[in-house]
């Protein structure tokens, strides 16, 4: 418990420093301690109003003014900047926010403009500054909205028939009678109309050609609105007014593949390879580094079709996703009064790379060391195919003369399209997809127990819809688990349960499955609440079982079918995970998580393979326990060690809530509450109390609470969580609630990345 005491002392030091908030506030100036915004209307959310405030106090935890940890770290520094420690503390912390009356005035104007644009033309914004303590300032912004203006009638007065049809679309249109006179919505409607019009081939049309006329002389806070096309003399741009209504088609598409050079820098000394396929022209510098067919199927700008902004956006997205392309640019050249040539300039990526990484491990009370060496090639067959190869070695010390180790390798080949025999070019162009072939090999040796070999090979498709919906279809995955050696002592232990015996038999898993995911996060709205979820289903053994039945194959002595003398698994497994992110500000958020999983064996076996079962506890589950330490149900291992064979289940439930807050420098703090456990589908003799029952499972949930620390190094996050057991279902009923925790009631979990 000494580590906990040290953390407590550190927290007290930070709190003491944070209390001295005015240490670096100059004389006759004030630390901005609090900002409050009130408005007499809920039409505009308070959080949105606050986003227009131009000066906010120092960041704080839990919304409490006395928990300004970043300011506390800054105040720990001395005033002598020649000392290294003082410079570092100031760099890691956050300097005090000094009240600036000029920024208060700007904030008033910005909030007034916000309300004016939303239809509150007569809104009144005022501010009140108080100084409740020496060198401390608090600001309160008050908004009196008054009666807003609304749209009484809306009309479109445009002669161009196609533009009129788009603008007067009442279903897709954003402007409705009775809505607030919101200038942001008016601008969004102009943008919507312009995008649809440009998608019909009107390359030179912009939203500036559209304007509104409002009649607000009704004296009833109502306005009549008319949308028109600006008169030609009013338009101030370089495009002839007549060209704005000229529809264009694509004539040719010209690809230039070169190394960090603009077209103007291409000299005669550079060897160019130029040729043409249909209406696609290609110019390569020195050699053809990407096959033309790959570029054609990744390009949504099609010869002899109308120009479209949507096609340009999709082309950027598709070509930028090619591993062989570093970056690209698209431009257009008018070649006749109604034709355009598209020019696509590509800069290739660095083709090959190698990297190594080393990691320390701690599992089931044993320390270890592991390392990887990685190789990748981003264009191995000249079609932006990505090849990766990884070699891994790991060692774990388990006591005197007890050395466990693992050797393995993984290989993956990814093609930037669907590898389907009858897939057309349009299908490959329409769906952003890749096909992946992968294989792996792992050799594991545990002292005085067993030697195991796991090999696998898989074939799958990955594709996405827009940027936030992803799909993965695992067409086929074959895994073979082989145990060439099991010690006599360990074999005697396995014989105590049919489940143990099954786990350590050579077996085959031939599976297929689907996984999908959705993310509601939008980079353009980083302070908006959002939800992510993932789901999947996997089945195994059905094809083999069907073939055995079709050909009336005889079962082996143990009552199961085998292929090449190897028993194969048959099961179905489904998983679902949901996370909701409640964002308070840039430094504070709460994440809620739900995780569910269930696996059901049937047909050729009565157990799910060890590799496919669930475990509870650990860095991503109920953190009051380490991995494999909780469950199933009320089961408790008889030994003082974790028994991986028995502390697993077929059903898993995780419920988590975590508060995250930026502390200072790269450090982030967290407080969490976790609930969950695993259960078995059937009542196995070797796992008493582990079976899932509707009437009992809630009372069998493990509950833990704790605190965590994260170090965000941008490219990865290092995490440590200290979890305390609150409810331990493995103990007798009178001892389950851990109101007086002991040293056995806490766990430390180390991990890379967030838990969910």
Angle 131-91-522 (CA atoms, 0-180°, nearest 5)? 85
pLDDT category of residue 606 using cuts at 50, 70 and 90: confident
> What does the mean pLDDT of the chain come to?
88
Q: Report helix, strand or coil for 147.
A: coil
| Structure token digits, residue 69 | 């940890």
Query: Taking a C-beta distance cutoff of 8 angstroms, is the pair 511, 568 a contact?
Result: no
* Greater pLDDT, 530 or 364: 530
What are the pLDDT digits (tens) for 665-676? 888 999 999 999
Asked if 587 and 611 count as a contact pair (C-beta separation under 8 A), the reply is: no
Report the C-alpha gap between 234 and 228 in whole angstroms: 13
- Helix or strand holding residue 107 (H, E): helix 101-117
pLDDT above 60 for 16 = no
Query: Averaged over 535-539, what is the pLDDT?
Result: 97
Q: Give pLDDT tens digits for 246-298.
A: 999 999 999 998 765 444 454 555 557 789 998 999 998 877 889 999 999 99
The order of strands in the sheet holding 249-257 is 272-277, 280-285, 249-257, 339-348, 325-336
Q: Report angle CA 445, 623, 62 to the nearest 5 degrees.
A: 145
Number of H helices, E strands in the chain: 13, 29
Q: Can you say whether residue 689 is alpha, beta or left, with left for phi > 0 and alpha for psi between -120 and 50 degrees?
A: left
The H-or-E segment that residue 283 falls in is strand 280-285
Q: Is the pLDDT of residue 238 over 70?
A: no
Q: What average pLDDT does the segment 344-359 reach?
A: 89
Of 346, 258, 246, 351, the C-alpha closest to 295 is 346
d(CA 625, CA 129): 50
Fold of 249-348: Ubiquitin-like (UB roll) (3.10.20)
**Spatial contact of 541 and 568, defined as CB atoms under 8 Å apart:** yes
Span 412-438, average pLDDT: 86
The answer to whether the beta carbons of residues 140 and 127 sit under 8 Å apart is yes
pLDDT of residue 558: 77
Instruction: Render 638-694 in DSSP notation, one character per residue.
Output: SSSS--TTTS-BSEEEEEEEEEEEEEETTEEEEEEEEEEEEEBSS--TTSTT-B--T
Smallest CA-to-CA distance from 517 within 463, 480, 481 is with: 463
pLDDT (tens digit per residue) in 701-746: 999 999 999 998 877 888 999 999 999 999 998 899 998 888 889 9
- CA neighbours closer than 13 Å in the CB half-sphere of residue 213: 10
| Angstrom distance (rounded) from CA 193 to CA 172 | 10
Rounded Cα gap, residues 682 and 598, in angstroms: 12
Which of 135-149, 354-368, 593-607, 693-707 has the least mean pLDDT? 354-368
Q: What is the pLDDT of residues 207-231, one digit of tens each?
A: 999 999 998 777 788 999 999 998 7
Answer for the pair 419, 447: CB distance below 8 angstroms, yes or no.
no
| CA 256/CA 264 separation, integer angstroms | 12
Q: Pick 150-245's CATH classification: 3.10.20, 1.25.40, 1.10.3470, 3.40.50.
A: 3.10.20
Picking from 604, 624, 633, 626, the residue whose alpha carbon sits closest to that of residue 699 is: 633
Q: What angle do CA 182, 186, 192 make, to 5 degrees?
A: 140
For residue 600, what are the β-bridge partners?
Answer: 572
Q: How confident is the model at residue 240 (pLDDT cuts 50, 70, 90)?
A: low
What DSSP string runs through 111-132?
Answer: HHHHHHHTT-TT-EEEEEEEEE
Q: How far is CA 720 from CA 2, 62, 594, 626, in A?
A: 16, 20, 21, 12
d(CA 644, CA 364): 10
Helices 183-198 and 101-117 sit at what angle, rounded to 10 degrees? 60
Which residues, 6 or more positions from 281, have their beta carbon under 8 angstroms from its beta carbon? 252, 253, 254, 255, 274, 275
User: Can you read off the two tokens belonging to residue 139?
Assistant: 């600001």
CA distances from 144 to 50, 182, 280, 439, 704 (A): 15, 17, 61, 66, 47
For residue 525, what are the CA distances in angstroms to 51, 530, 586, 587? 12, 10, 11, 15
Contact 371, 358 (CB under 8 A): yes
Closest CA to 611 of 708, 509, 687: 509
Residue 461: pLDDT band with limits 50, 70, 90: very high
- Say what the pLDDT of residue 263 is: 47
Span of 264-273, 308-317, 331-340 with lowest mean pLDDT: 264-273
Burial of 69 (0-12, 13-18, 19+ CB in 10 A): buried
- Nearest to 574, CA basis, from 597, 594, 595, 540: 597
CA distance 590 to 441: 40
Tokens 């109390």 appear where? Answer: 689
Separation CA 450–CA 61 (nearest Å): 50
May I ask the CATH architecture of the domain 2-144?
A: Roll (3.10)
The number of residues making up the chain comes to 756
- 3-state SS class at 750: strand
What token pair was written down for 276? 């043409």
pLDDT tens column, 496-518: 777 777 778 888 999 999 999 99
Angular region, 603: left φ>0, alpha ψ -120 to 50, beta rest: left
Instruction: State the pLDDT confidence band at 1, using cuts at 50, 70 and 90.
Output: very low
| Strand 249-257 versus strand 339-348 pairing type | parallel
Q: DSSP character for 65?
A: T
Predicted TM-score (pTM) of this structure: 0.81
Residue with tokens 């030091």: 13
The ranges of the chain annotated as CATH 3.10.20.310 are: 2-144, 249-348
Structure tokens at 613: 């079962």
The DSSP code sequence of 489-517 is: HHHHHHTT-HHHHHHTS-EEEEEEEEEEE
Q: For residue 388, what pLDDT is reported?
A: 96
pLDDT the model gives residue 641: 62
- E-state strands within 134-181: 136-144, 150-157
The tokens describing 315, both together, are 């082309």
């Amino acid at each position: 418990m000494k580590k906990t005491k040290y953390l407590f002392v550190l927290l007290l030091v930070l709190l003491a420093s944070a209390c001295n908030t005015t240490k670096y506030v100059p004389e006759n100036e004030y630390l901005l301690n609090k900002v409050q915004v009130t408005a007499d209307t809920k039409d505009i959310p308070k959080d949105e109003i606050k986003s227009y405030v131009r000066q906010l106090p120092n960041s704080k935890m839990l919304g409490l003014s006395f928990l300004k940890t970043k300011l506390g770290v800054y105040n720990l520094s001395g005033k002598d900047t020649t000392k290294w420690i003082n410079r570092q503390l100031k760099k890691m912390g956050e300097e005090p926010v000094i009240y600036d009356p000029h920024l208060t005035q700007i904030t008033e104007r910005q909030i007034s403009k916000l309300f004016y644009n939303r239809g509150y033309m007569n809104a009144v914004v005022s501010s009140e500054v108080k100084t409740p303590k020496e060198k401390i300032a608090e600001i309160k912004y008050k908004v009196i909205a008054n009666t807003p203006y609304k749209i009484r009638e809306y009309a479109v007065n445009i002669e161009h028939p196609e533009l009129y049809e788009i603008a007067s679309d009442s279903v897709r249109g954003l402007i409705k009678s009775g809505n607030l006179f919101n200038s942001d919505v008016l601008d969004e409607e102009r943008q919507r109309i312009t995008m649809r019009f440009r998608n019909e081939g009107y390359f030179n049309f912009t939203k500036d050609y559209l304007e509104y006329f409002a009649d607000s002389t009704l004296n009833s806070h109502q306005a009549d609105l008319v949308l028109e096309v600006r008169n030609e003399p009013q338009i101030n741009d370089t495009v002839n007014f007549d060209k704005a209504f000229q529809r264009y088609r694509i004539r040719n598409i010209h690809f230039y593949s070169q190394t960090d050079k603009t077209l103007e820098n291409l000299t005669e000394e550079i060897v160019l390879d130029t040729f043409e396929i249909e209406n696609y022209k290609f110019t390569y510098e020195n050699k053809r580094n990407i096959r033309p067919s790959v570029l054609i199927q990744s390009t949504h700008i099609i010869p002899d079709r109308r120009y479209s902004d949507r096609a340009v956006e999709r082309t950027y997205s598709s070509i930028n996703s090619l591993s062989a392309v570093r970056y690209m640019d698209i431009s257009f050249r008018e070649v006749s009064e109604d034709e355009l040539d598209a020019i696509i300039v590509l800069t290739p990526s660095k083709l090959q790379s190698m990297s190594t990484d080393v990691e320390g491990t701690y599992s089931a009370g044993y320390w270890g060391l592991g390392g990887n060496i990685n190789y990748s090639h981003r264009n191995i067959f000249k079609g932006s195919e990505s090849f990766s190869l990884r070699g891994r070695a790991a060692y774990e010390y388990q006591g005197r003369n007890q050395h466990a180790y693992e050797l393995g390798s993984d290989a993956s080949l990814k093609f930037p399209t669907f590898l389907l025999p009858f897939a057309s070019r349009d299908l490959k162009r329409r769906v952003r997809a890749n096909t992946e072939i992968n294989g792996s090999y792992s050799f594991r040796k545990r002292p005085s127990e067993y030697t195991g070999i796991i090999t696998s090979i898989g074939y799958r498709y990955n594709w996405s819809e827009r940027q936030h919906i992803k799909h993965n279809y695992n067409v086929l995955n074959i895994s073979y688990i082989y145990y060439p050696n099991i010690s006599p002592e360990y074999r005697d232990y396995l014989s105590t349960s049919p489940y143990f015996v099954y786990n350590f038999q050579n077996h085959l898993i031939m599976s297929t499955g689907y996984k999908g995911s959705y993310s509601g996060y939008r980079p353009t709205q980083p302070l908006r609440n959002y939800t992510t979820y993932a789901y999947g289903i996997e089945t195994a053994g059905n094809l083999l079982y069907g073939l055995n039945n079709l050909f009336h194959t005889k079962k082996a002595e143990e009552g199961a079918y085998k292929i090449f003398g190897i028993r194969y698994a048959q099961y179905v497994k489904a998983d679902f995970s949901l996370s909701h992110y409640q964002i308070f500000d840039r430094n504070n958020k709460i994440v809620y998580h739900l995780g569910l999983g269930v696996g059901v064996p049937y047909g050729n076996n009565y157990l799910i393979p060890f590799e496919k079962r669930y475990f509870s506890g650990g860095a991503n589950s109920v953190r009051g326990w380490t991995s494999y330490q909780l469950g199933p149900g009320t089961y408790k291992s008889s030994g003082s060690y974790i028994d991986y064979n028995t502390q697993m289940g077929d059903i898993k439930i995780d419920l988590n809530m975590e508060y995250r807050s930026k502390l200072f420098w790269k450090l982030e703090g967290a407080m969490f509450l976790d609930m969950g456990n695993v259960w078995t589908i059937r009542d196995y003799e070797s796992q008493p109390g582990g079976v899932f029952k509707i009437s009992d499972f809630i009372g069998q949930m493990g509950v833990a609470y704790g605190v965590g620390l994260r170090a965000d190094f941008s490219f990865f996050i290092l995490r440590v969580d200290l979890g305390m057991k609150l409810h331990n279902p493995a103990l007798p009923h009178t001892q389950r609630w851990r109101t007086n925790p002991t040293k056995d009631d806490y766990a430390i979990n180390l991990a890379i990345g967030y838990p969910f």
